Amino acid sequence: MPPSIPRAGISALSCLAFAAAFSATAFAEPGLGYEDTPIIPGTQWHVHDGLRPQPRIVTPGATFSDLAPPPSDAVVLFDGKDLSQWESLDGHEPSWKIVDGVLEVVPANGQHHLKTKTRFPDFQLHVEFATPAEVKGDGQYRGNSGILINGMYEVQILDSFNNPTYPDGQAGALYGQTPPLVNASKPPGAWQTYDIAFESPRWDAAGNLVTKAVVTVIQNGILVQNHREFFGSTDGINGIPHKSLGAYHAPHPPEVVIELQEHKNPVRFRNIWIRPIGAYDLPGK
């Protein structure tokens, strides 16, 4: 059950507590989201709640895993040369373009995502992205893309540098579910890194959900999601209505595709690779 303390009270207390320690902290921003959406279970917040506390800003170091070469057991998904690992959602040639070794979204209708041709088990994914240097739009309409795991679970990409929006929709958020621990975003046009560990949900033979999907996200060297469960599919993608509550609708295999979201903004990508997490105590060779 949500606490009975009014959210305004929480915000005021939080403000007092954090203001003493952090000068760059931002707090509840009215008018940024919705309050007529479902309450997220286990929280006091609505889906895309504009009054949810804005994550504290942390300035990343200059580099972290930028241009990190792939490990020996990684599958290289994009190395600047071609899109041989990718296809459109309906299995055709991708519509995105490669310019000087960089992959760029070609804005369309918001449905022209890229999808890997192959599926991957529980994985470690390295992705580098840059939101447009030329700032256009506000909120969700500025530098929006995303890592759509199996087309179901979105780790949001957004220009979240001086661009307030509902916290569960900013960069590093599990969209519509969990804001990032902190705002680790670099300025528009700057290359940023996501290093993501993802464990698929599991169902038993009878179709009962046994474990939820779990994700850890490091953005620009800063932990923004710490072994966090997805409550289910995230809203607004691939047929899940925007502003609806995340849910697990049907079992799927642990092997999943990776999608890069086309959200009408020319976000750029480079150096994408993925490797299996594997298991402990497996024999080597």
Least Cβ distance, residue 204 to Mg ion (angstroms): 32
- Quick one: 146 or 232, whose CB is closer to Mg ion? 146
Least Cβ distance, residue 193 to Mg ion (angstroms): 17
- Quick one: 263 or 270, whose CB is closer to Mg ion? 263
- Quick one: 70 or 107, whose CB is closer to Mg ion? 107
Least Cβ distance, residue 169 to Mg ion (angstroms): 8
Least Cβ distance, residue 263 to Mg ion (angstroms): 5
Helix (H) / strand (E) element for 210: namely strand 209-211
Q: Which residues does 231 contact at the CB level (< 8 Å), separation at least 6? A: 40, 41, 177, 212, 245, 246, 247
Least Cβ distance, residue 6 to Mg ion (angstroms): 31
What is Dmax (Cα atoms) for the chain? 58
* Residues at the site binding Mg ion, with contacts judged by CB under 5 A: 144, 146, 156, 261, 263
> 45 phi and psi, to 5 degrees?
-110, 145
d(CA 176, CA 179): 8
Residue reference for tokens 């207390």 = 13
Sheet holding 145-149, edge to edge: 86-88, 114-116, 258-260, 145-149, 153-157
Nearest residue to Mg ion, scored by beta-carbon proximity: 146
Least Cβ distance, residue 173 to Mg ion (angstroms): 9
Question: In Å, how far are 9, 11, 22, 166, 193 from 17, measured between CA atoms?
Answer: 12, 10, 9, 22, 31
> 10 phi and psi, to 5 degrees?
-55, -45
d(CA 39, CA 270): 37
- Quick one: 132 or 146, whose CB is closer to Mg ion? 146
Q: Which long-range contacts (CB under 8 A, 24 or more apart) does 49-53 make?
A: 49/166, 49/167, 49/168, 50/166, 51/7, 51/11, 52/28, 52/166, 52/167, 52/168, 52/179, 53/10, 53/11, 53/14, 53/27, 53/28, 53/167, 53/179
- Quick one: 122 or 235, whose CB is closer to Mg ion? 235
- Quick one: 144 or 170, whose CB is closer to Mg ion? 144
- Quick one: 74 or 158, whose CB is closer to Mg ion? 158
Least Cβ distance, residue 148 to Mg ion (angstroms): 8
